[in-house]
Amino acid sequence: PATQVAAAWESAEGWTWQAMGIGPVSMPVLLALAAAVVLTVLLVVFLSSRRRGRSKTVLDVVTATGRTTVDRNVVDAVLTEPLIRRPDVLSARTGTYRVGSTRAVELAVTVRPGAPLATVVAAAEAAIGEWDDLLGSRIPILLHLSDRRWREGFRSPTRVQ
C-alpha cells in the first residue's frame, strides 16, 4: 500500500493548473486550500448559529410613561436563591431564551443523590409562583432537574486518607 500511495502522490504532483499572474499551481495544493476555505466557512456558520435564541431581558414593557426592562440577573436571583438554600439542592441556575416572539426561562437544578424530587419540584413551583407575583405576569419556565452521577465516575472513591 505504501508504494501505491507514493505512486499516486507522484502522479498527482504532475497535475497543475495554470493561474494567471502566478504560474503553474499544483492541484493537490489547490484542492487542500479549497477544502480549508470551505471548512472555515462552515465553522463560521456553525459558531454564529449557536447563540441564537439567548436573551438578556426577561420582560420588556413599554408604556406611555416610559419603558421597563427586567434583566436576566433578576430572574436568576429570585428563582435560584430559595433553591440554593435547600440542603437537597447542590446548585441552581437560570437561562433566558427567546422562543418566537415570547421569552422563556430555563431553571436548571442539580439535586443531591437520593433527594426527594417531589419536595424539590414543590420548592421550585413556590419560587416560580413568587416570581410570577413579583413580575405581575406569567412567562413560560422550564424546570430541568439533574444529578451529578456522570461526574462521580471521574472522581476517586477514596477522598480523604
What local confidence, expressed as pLDDT, does residue 52 receive? Answer: 62
Do strands 141-146 and 102-111 pair parallel, antiparallel, or not at all (unpaired)? parallel
CA atoms within 13 A on the CB side of 44: 6
Nearest to 146 by CA among 100, 119, 108: 108
Cell, residue 60:
420588556
Percent of the chain with pLDDT over 70: 89
Pick the CATH number of 57-152 from 3.30.870.10, 3.40.50.300, 1.10.10.10, 3.30.70.1350: 3.30.70.1350
Report domain extents, the chain. 2-48, 57-152
- Greater confidence, 147 or 43? 43
- The count of other CB atoms within 10 Å of the CB of residue 79 is 23
Q: Which of the listed ranges 3-12, 18-27, 66-75, 104-113 does the model predict with the highest average pLDDT? A: 104-113
pLDDT score of 57 more than 60: yes
Calculate the CA 63 to chain-centre distance.
Answer: 33
Calculate the CA 100 to chain-centre distance.
Answer: 18
Query: For the whole model, what pTM was predicted?
Result: 0.60
Task: For residues 65-74, give the mean pLDDT.
Answer: 85
Quote the mean pLDDT of the chain: 83
Phi then psi for residue 80, to 5 deg, are -85, -25
What local confidence, expressed as pLDDT, does residue 160 receive? Answer: 47
Kindly report, residue by residue over 79-119, the tens digit of the pLDDT: 999 999 999 999 999 988 887 778 888 999 999 888 888 99
